[in-house]
Copies of this chain bind each other. A is one copy, B any other.
């Protein structure tokens, strides 16, 4: 296991604080205190508070984009693709529950990277929508409104970070399967 740099440590601790109170309510003094140093010392490792938010959000957003592209280009059935999407969210969310909070709640505080983030997000949702529509067309999925289906599934998956840490005993494979049953089998004709 690679040794964590001081910069990485700052980003990790910041994400934890951002999850509790949100980006705007966490001060550089709060972060410094959690690190056991003074606020001025943080700037030896990072350029700005904004850069910390960028580092947290963009790497996660790109991870989701990569995962979706792999799923999209596979030759699996629509139902299997949805299962893969669920597994993607469970995996990334459980590996970085603190970062997921910023991705969900603080993306609007991005500055230079805001447009880029929003493009990744829109593209991700477009890919998701196509999978659902293909499933409806092929008869794999019930013919309900795909927007409502996507909203329901994606909202649940995006909020996993709130709930996963409370279930440390929970097996992640088992969680994926249960979510798959509840979210996908429910719309499976």
- A residues lining the B interface (CB < 8 Å): 20-25, 105-106, 108-109, 142, 144-145, 147-149, 151-152, 155-156, 159, 162-163, 167, 175, 178-179, 181-183, 185-187
Q: Given the complex of chains A and B, what is the CA–CA distance between A136 and B181 in angstroms?
A: 16
Interface of A is mostly: helix
The one of B24, B179, B187 that contacts A24, using a Cβ cutoff of 8 Å = B24
How many of these chains are in the complex? 2
Q: State A91–B144 Cα separation when bound (angstroms).
A: 21
A65 to B32, CA, bound (A): 40
CB–CB B178/A182 < 8 A = no
7 additional contacts (CB under 8 A) given A22-B105, A142-B181: A21-B24, A24-B24, A144-B181, A147-B167, A149-B182, A151-B156, A155-B155
Name the residue among A109, A149, A156, A167 with the largest chain B CB count within 10 angstroms. Answer: A156
Instruction: Name the CB-closest residue of B to A186.
Output: B186
- Shortest distance from the beta carbon of A153 to any chain B beta carbon, whole Å: 8
Interchain CB contact under 8 A, A182 and B152: yes
Closest to A21 in B: B108
Complex contact A108–B24 (CB within 8 A): no
Question: Contact check: which of B23, B149, B183, B186 meets A185 at CB < 8 Å?
Answer: B186
Q: Is the CB of A148 within 8 A of B182?
A: yes
Q: Which 6 A-B pairs have the closest CB atoms?
A: A186-B186, A24-B24, A24-B25, A155-B159, A152-B156, A148-B178
Closest Cβ neighbor of A162 among chain B residues: B155
Residues of B within 8 A of A151 (CB): 156, 159, 163
Complex Cα gap A24–B108 (Å): 13
Query: In the bound complex, what is the Cα–Cα distance between A181 and B141 (angstroms)?
Result: 13
Contact A25 B156 (CB under 8 A): no
Contact present for A21 and B178 (CB under 8 Å): no
Closest partner residue, chain B, to A155 (CB atom) = B159
